[in-house]
Structure 1
Amino acid sequence: MIDVSHTSLHRLPDQIHPNLRLVFVGTAASTRSAELGHYYAHPGNRFWRAIHEAGITPRRYQPGEFAALIELGIGFTDLSKSGAGMDHQIATETIDVAGFRAKIEKYRPRTIAFTSKKAASLFYGRPSRGILLGRQPRGGSWPETFVLSSPSGAASGHWTLEPWHELAKWIAA
């Protein structure tokens, strides 16, 4: 069964169900994504291009097609389901790491991928500068975890497709 919450101005629906091969995890919806109800919807966001170029998807999907990725074993969630905007605009009190952990423990995906160092830093509780891109050390029964370079146009100066390629190789194995 798919857990899909209702979309409002400041919320994207989770797209997650048991045993997915991959769940992408953002900090929160961008303002544009919240308005449209689609993940990574801003025209300057590289997400959809990156997952295709890295080989994660067989074609380039559009933001409005995010629900179709469930058929590929790919889901979506965010650490903040009530905030929207750029990472620095998200109120700390809307970040729900415990709720995110509970979702992952309930649905048990094979792999999770944070789509920014900021999202990973909030999860790990340490500064972004201490977070390395790529595959992370594994902890117990927690799924394999990757940190990807942010596909946001606002993070262009730090963009690299390399960790996305590393993720694609892992999930294809």
Structure 2
Amino acid sequence: MIADGLRVLFCGINPGLMSAATGHHFARPGNRFWPVLHGSGFTPRRLDPSEQGELLSYGLGITNVAARPSARADELGKAELVEGGVLLTQRVLRHRPRWLAVVGVTAYRVAFADPRAAIGPQERTIGDTRIWALPNPSGLNAGWTTGAMVEEFGRLRAAAGD
């Protein structure tokens, strides 16, 4: 779900098995992406993964770093993430969103060869597109509460404007 000139292009790591089966991003019931997106003010209501097409009407898009589905993101190899980073860079240069929000700082570090990257805005840009690394909303990411994720996504929303 990408269009030219988006406010924010959200980028997951890769499709989980349920996302691959349904064709909808962040489709696993325990994933917190959709509740956090709403809680942070990006959407006026909580969208179901099947409603991902509505993101475009809010100036938002969604894609992945890597295309291969897996049960867990840590099943991807470094080469897959690096190749995904190259392809993602090409997509960003073609569609020129204001912000690229990579949902998973560990994958961002590998895909963009930036081992010291932390959650938040990055120094690196892709053309005119700014980059923000966000926490992974997977239910497996116990290091981030839903409330803390809402706060971090909210920081991005404020930076991205309306």
In the superposition, the TM-score normalised over structure 1's length comes to 0.83
More displaced 10-residue stretch of structure 1: 116-125 or 72-81: 116-125
Equivalent runs, 1:153-172 vs 2, <5 Å = 153-159=139-145, 160-161=148-149, 162-172=151-161
User: Which residue number corresponds to residue 60 of structure 1?
Assistant: 46
Q: C-alpha distance in 2, partners of 1:22/1:126?
A: 21
SS at match of 2:91: helix
Counterparts in 2 of 1:44 and 1:108: CA distance versus 1, 3 Å: same
Equivalent runs, 1:124-163 vs 2, <5 Å = 124-127=112-115, 130-139=116-125, 141-159=127-145, 160-161=148-149, 162-163=151-152
AA of the residue aligned to 1:23: L
- Compute the displacement of 1:143 (Å): 0.8
- Compute the displacement of 1:64 (Å): 0.7
Write out per-residue CA displacement over residues 88-134 of structure 1, whole angstroms, 9 at most, x where no aligned residue.
Answer: 1123443322111111000101111011112211232133xx22111
Residue 22 (structure 1) aligned with residue 8 (structure 2): yes
Q: C-alpha distance in 2, partners of 1:151/1:72?
A: 20
Aligned identity (percent) is 28
AA of the residue aligned to 1:118: T
- Compute the displacement of 1:83 (Å): 3.5
Bigger strand fraction: 2
Residue 101 (structure 1) aligned with residue 82 (structure 2): no
* Aligned residue pair count: 157
Q: C-alpha distance in 2, partners of 1:37/1:112?
A: 21
Residue 116 (structure 1) aligned with residue 104 (structure 2): yes
Q: C-alpha distance in 2, partners of 1:149/1:27?
A: 11
AA of the residue aligned to 2:14: A
With a CA cutoff of 8 Å and minimum separation of 6, indicate the structure with the bigger relative contact order.
2
Counterparts in 2 of 1:171 and 1:121: CA distance versus 1, 3 Å: same
SS at match of 2:143: helix
- Compute the displacement of 1:31 (Å): 1.2
User: 8 Å contact 1:25–1:76 — kept in the other structure?
Assistant: yes
Query: 43, 57, 67: which one pairs with 1:71?
Result: 57
Residue 90 (structure 1) aligned with residue 76 (structure 2): yes
- Compute the displacement of 1:138 (Å): 4.4
Write out per-residue CA displacement over residues 23-79 of structure 1, whole angstroms, 9 at most, x where no aligned residue.
Answer: 001110111111111101111111001011111111110111011111111111111
User: Which residue number corresponds to residue 46 of structure 1?
Assistant: 32
Q: CA RMSD in A?
A: 1.7
SS at match of 1:126: coil
